[in-house]
Amino acid sequence: MTWRTAIVTGAASGIGRCFAETLAGQGAAVGLVDVAATALTAMAETLRGRGFAAESRVADVSAADQVEAAVHELVGKLGGLDLLVNCAAILGPGRLAQQPADEFERTIRIDLFGTANVLRAALPALRQSRGAAVCIASTAAVHGWPNMAAYSSAKFGVAGFCDAVRPELARDGVLLTCVFPLLIDTPLLQGADRAPILRQGKPIPPAAVVAKTLAGVRKRRARVFVPETVRLVAAIHGLAPSLLDWYGRRFGM
């Protein structure tokens, strides 16, 4: 399976940038969305400098009107949409008692509402192409991480959102894949000092997450776990969640 066109959010850095570079390298014309205007422009220019087709549009994914305008414009410029990759997110770490309410809310708005805003805006084009959409959740969507209540809540929301929306999209031939990665080696981890659990283990290279995700989409998988051991975390959460609670108290505080 190849994709002629793709839109990636959070495309200026981290996992989104890696998805954009990989898809462009595989021959897709890519539409890039990010709130960081300077970095986004530089990313688009870099891809075009390599001979790839790339368009960009600045948008805050938590603002539905901005997302609607950005996706509409990019779909028009690309000539359609075969694949959507929803990567835009922030970490928002910190203990609940010490985290300002507006910071908690901002994390939910970007990570969860942003995911819904982007997919909603892209649905008409995806239905027309019978394409595919990817949403990035987290291992924190399998069992909540200590000192990361906002992020865990948002990512649980993303996973539940995908479960709820997947049957709706399937009726129109659109695939929805939810990805559950462990720690990814991206700038998102810069908040690790406020969440000790993020310092446990070695982060995964973004390219590994991208490769496994795209392979999963090609196999029409509803869920992708990176690495596969995240499946074990999910099994433990279902059978003996107190073990994960203990781990969180031991290593996450």
CATH superfamily of 5-251: NAD(P)-binding Rossmann-like Domain (3.40.50.720)
DSSP string, 7-65: EEESTTSHHHHHHHHHHHHTT-EEEEEES-HHHHHHHHHHHHHTT--EEEEE--TT-HH
Q: What global pTM score does this model have?
A: 0.88
Amino acid at 240: A
Contact between 13 and 39 (Cβ < 8 Å): yes
Contact between 131 and 88 (Cβ < 8 Å): no
State the pLDDT at residue 195.
Answer: 47
**pLDDT tens-place string over residues 116-142:** 999 999 999 999 999 999 999 988 878
Examine residue 167 and say whether the peptide bond preceding it is cis (omega within 30 degrees of 0): no
The residue with greater pLDDT, 129 or 146, is: 129
Q: Mark 61-77 as b/e (b = at least 16 C-beta within 10 Å).
A: bbbbebbbebbeebbee
State the pLDDT at residue 240.
Answer: 56
Mean pLDDT computed over every residue of the chain: 88
State the pLDDT at residue 226.
Answer: 87
State the pLDDT at residue 205.
Answer: 87
The yes-or-no verdict on residue 253 having pLDDT over 50 is no
Q: Can you read off the two tokens belonging to residue 151?
A: 């992020």
Catalytic entry in 104, 151, 156, 180: 151
**pLDDT tens-place string over residues 15-30:** 999 999 999 999 999 9
Would you state the torsion angle of the CA atoms of residues 208, 187, 39, 161, taken in this order, to the nearest 10 degrees? Answer: 70
Q: Any catalytic annotation for residue 151?
A: yes
Q: Give, in degrees to the nearest 5, the angle at Cα 104 between 100 and 105.
A: 115
CA-wise closest residue to 176 among 89, 84, 113: 84
Q: How would residue 145 be classed by pLDDT, with cut points 50, 70 and 90?
A: confident
**pLDDT tens-place string over residues 68-111:** 999 999 999 999 999 999 999 998 777 888 889 999 999 999 99
Beta strands, E only, 114-168: 132-136
Q: Where are the domains of the chain?
A: 5-251
Q: Mark 193-228 as b/e (b = at least 16 C-beta within 10 Å).
A: ebbbbbeeeebbebeebbebbbebbeeebebbbbee
The yes-or-no verdict on residue 242 having pLDDT over 70 is no
State the pLDDT at residue 85.
Answer: 99
Contact between 31 and 78 (Cβ < 8 Å): yes
The two beta strands, 132-136 and 29-34, are unpaired
> How large is the average pLDDT for residues 63-69?
98
The yes-or-no verdict on residue 243 having pLDDT over 70 is no
Lowest mean pLDDT among 78-87, 165-174, 199-208: 199-208
Within 10 Å of residue 39's Cβ, how many Cβ atoms? 14
**First-to-last C-alpha distance (Å) of the chain:** 44
CA 44 to mean position of chain CA atoms: 19
The yes-or-no verdict on residue 174 having pLDDT over 60 is yes
State the pLDDT at residue 194.
Answer: 47
Most confident of the following: 152-156, 235-239, 249-253: 152-156
